Chains A and B, each alone.
Chain A
Amino acid sequence: MEGTERVFERLVRDHQDRIYALGFALTGNRHDAEEVAQDTFMRAFRALCTYPPDRVRELKQKAWLHRIAVNVVRNRMRGVRPRLVELNGSEPSHASGPEEDVLMRAEIDELAARVASLPLRYREAVVLRHVHELSYAEAAEALGQPVGTVKANVHRGLKMLRGENHDNGDA
């Protein structure tokens, strides 16, 4: 148990930014991102407690966490249309990192909201491939889908994103 706790603490510290960013790209707002990331780590913790030590040691942490996070988001979204992000919903409790100045933060929030407007199956494929830069094989593993499906979903997702860009530009 002592060992599990130490593994878990390192897991959280090593992967918190990556999993939070994943939650952010998948949900489109910072509040949901924190909830997704917290749920992901809590599920990981409960699972770790039941795993035998050699399984914990051989765990491919990054891939494993990606997969849990994807499932957390899928469960949250089940039957729920992605909600629109309130653009004036500033969240002062989230201290921004030094590299995120206000303007950049607004841009990034807008970008995330745009990604969040994609249907989930395209969104998760695009995010894993192009935000987190996983290979198609890694993304397919995290999503539990064949590589071909992931490739097609990435392609369609990007097409939809570009289509929205053009609309905005024309307006």
Chain B
Amino acid sequence: MTTATLELRRLGDVRAPAGFADRVLAQAGMADSYSVFDTVLGPVYVAWNRLGVSAAMRSKSAAEFEGWFRKEIGRQLVRVAPPQDLAAKIEDQLEGNKRMRFDLRGLTPFSQAVLRKTLDIPRGQVRPYGWIAREIGHPAAVRAVGTALANNPIPYFIPCHRVIRTDGVIGNYGGGGPEAKRDILTLEGVQLKRLQELARAGLRYEGVRTTKVFCFPTCYHGRHAREENFVYFHDEAEARAAGYRPCKDCRPAAVA
């Protein structure tokens, strides 16, 4: 009897495996999980929880990503094996096929509105900062839009790189500087050179003579028009005076 029970007591000394508590907390939604994925952009560290993707960064190392996450998001972070469906979802999101869910808790309502609006910009197109400001009902808050986008915790996935300055300057980019922003836009099929030539000439909108509609130059409407039918405008007043109406899709001006 005594030997048997003495031996049995040893079973009680078994310890939970390393990282067990963190995995439980992650499962309860109190910590985020993360993994590193190979994407068309190269390796990207991605964090998520039950509400959706919470952060993404092209960090140099896991330690760098963890440090950044704890500082910026302030939750616990647990490295896990990547779930299989998430890799496909990430690819779909970057290709512009499907929408993912995002966890934007912790950001101000204004920042959340900016980022949600940014998700509406299709792949291959760009919009000015002022467009976001107007669309979310704060037309004067252009600089605040810039700040919100600069602090986007989920660059690439929430495509803040598709927002550029009206004067054609690429602008800064939290996800790796202006160079990275240029590379991603090129990868998405934006003709940056043409865009910048137009911007330098002060031409912000592109109209099509046959439809009398004016768009942002990257809007896909009217892309099949003949070269000689394109006409360019400096501003909304000029376009309207010429009898053109704003495109209902890219909404270069409020549709009155």
Which residue numbers of A lie inside 8 Å of B, CB to CB? Answer: 5, 8-9, 12-13, 16-21, 24-25, 30, 33-34, 37-38, 41-42, 45, 93-95, 97, 99-100, 108, 111-112, 115, 126-127, 130-133, 158, 161-162, 165
A132-B12, A158-B4, A161-B4 known; A30 vs B27 contact (CB < 8 Å)? no
A12 to B26, CA, bound (A): 12
A146 to B68, CA, bound (A): 54
**Could you mark each residue 19-30 of chain B with 1 if its beta carbon is under 8 Å from any beta carbon of chain A, else 0?**
011011101101
A21-B13, A25-B11, A162-B4 known; A95 vs B18 contact (CB < 8 Å)? yes
Q: Chain B residues with Cβ under 8 A from A33's Cβ?
A: 14
Would you mind naming 9 contact pairs between A and B with Cβ atoms under 8 Å apart? A20-B14, A21-B12, A25-B14, A34-B17, A38-B27, A45-B28, A100-B14, A112-B14, A131-B12
A24 contacts B21, C-beta separation under 8 Å: no
Q: Chain B residues with Cβ under 8 A from A38's Cβ?
A: 23-24, 27
A5 contacts B30, C-beta separation under 8 Å: yes
Taking CB as reference atom, which chain B residue is nearest A28? Answer: B11
A19 to B23, CA, bound (A): 15
Which residue numbers of B lie inside 8 Å of A, CB to CB? Answer: 1, 4-5, 7-18, 20-21, 23-25, 27-28, 30
A20 contacts B16, C-beta separation under 8 Å: yes
A38-B24, A42-B27 known; A111 vs B17 contact (CB < 8 Å)? no
A9 to B20, CA, bound (A): 12
A33 to B25, CA, bound (A): 17
A34-B17, A165-B4 known; A115 vs B11 contact (CB < 8 Å)? yes
Which applies to chain A's interface (DSSP): helix, strand, loop or mixed?
A: helix
A126 contacts B24, C-beta separation under 8 Å: no
Which applies to chain B's interface (DSSP): helix, strand, loop or mixed?
A: helix
A108 to B12, CA, bound (A): 10
Choose among A5, A94, A165 the residue that contacts B17 (Cβ–Cβ < 8 A). Answer: A94
Q: Chain B residues with Cβ under 8 A from A158's Cβ?
A: 1, 4-5
Closest 6 CB pairs of A and B: A20-B16, A16-B16, A130-B8, A94-B17, A21-B14, A97-B15
A115-B8, A162-B4 known; A108 vs B18 contact (CB < 8 Å)? no
Q: Chain B residues with Cβ under 8 A from A100's Cβ?
A: 14-15
Q: Chain B residues with Cβ under 8 A from A99's Cβ?
A: 13, 15
A8 contacts B28, C-beta separation under 8 Å: yes
A12 contacts B17, C-beta separation under 8 Å: no
B30 contacts A9, C-beta separation under 8 Å: yes
Choose among B5, B12, B24, B30 the residue that contacts A16 (Cβ–Cβ < 8 A). Answer: B24
A16-B24, A34-B20, A42-B28 known; A111 vs B14 contact (CB < 8 Å)? no
Q: Chain A residues with Cβ under 8 A from B11's Cβ?
A: 21, 24-25, 108, 111-112, 115, 127, 131
Counting chain A CB atoms within 10 Å of each CB, the highest count among B16, B20, B23 belongs to B16
A12-B25, A21-B13 known; A37 vs B20 contact (CB < 8 Å)? yes
A16-B20, A126-B8 known; A8 vs B15 contact (CB < 8 Å)? no
* Distance from B167 Cβ to chain A, minimum over Cβ atoms (Å): 46
A5 to B30, CA, bound (A): 7
A24 to B14, CA, bound (A): 8
A63 to B8, CA, bound (A): 20
18 extra A-B contacts, CB within 8 A, seeds A16-B16, A21-B14: A12-B24, A13-B21, A20-B16, A20-B20, A21-B11, A21-B13, A24-B11, A25-B12, A34-B20, A37-B20, A45-B28, A99-B13, A99-B15, A108-B10, A108-B11, A130-B9, A131-B8, A131-B12
